[in-house]
Each structure stands twice: as structure tokens, then as C-alpha cells.
Amino acid sequence: MKKDKMRGLDPAEMQNKLTEIGESTFRIKFQMAMGQIDGLKRLRENRKDKARLLTYLREKELGAREAGKKK
């Protein structure tokens, strides 16, 4: 997923995306353990996407706090 597209999601959509990434990561790891696929590249992409989403969620959380303090 593109960074710009991730940044534009609202927090609920980000949480849904995190859940999807977690499920996808589980499936990839399971298939790799069974020897069905060699999905190391997809596994790395999932890990990076998850980190990006968590970072954007934290940014939005801190931004909301700052907006609340200014009022």
C-alpha cells in the first residue's frame, strides 16, 4: 500500500488495515512453514506496512491531544 494512501485513512480504517495485515502475515508464515511458498518479500512488506500504520496512528493521536490542549 502506498504511504500517501495510508496517511489519508481515518483511525478506524487504519485499525481494520492492521487486522488485515496481521491475518495476512499469519497466512504467509504458515505457508512458509509448510514449504508451500517462498514469501519472504511479502512478509517484509507486511511488517513495514504495519510499522507505517502504527506510526500514522500515533501521529494522529498526538495531533488530537495537541488540538485538545490548545482549546
Residue with cell 490548545: 70
Q: Does residue 35 contact residue 7 with C-beta atoms inside 8 Å? A: no
User: The C-alpha cell of 2 is what?
Assistant: 502506498
Positive or negative, the CA dihedral 11, 14, 19, 22 is negative
Please classify residue 69 by burial: count the beta carbons closer than 10 Å to its beta carbon, then call 0-12 exposed, 13-18 middle and 19+ buried. exposed
Domains delineated in the chain = 10-70 (1.10.287)
Q: In degrees, to the nearest 5, what angle opens at C-alpha 24 toward C-alphas 33 and 54?
A: 120
Ranges of residues in the chain with a pLDDT under 70 are 1, 71
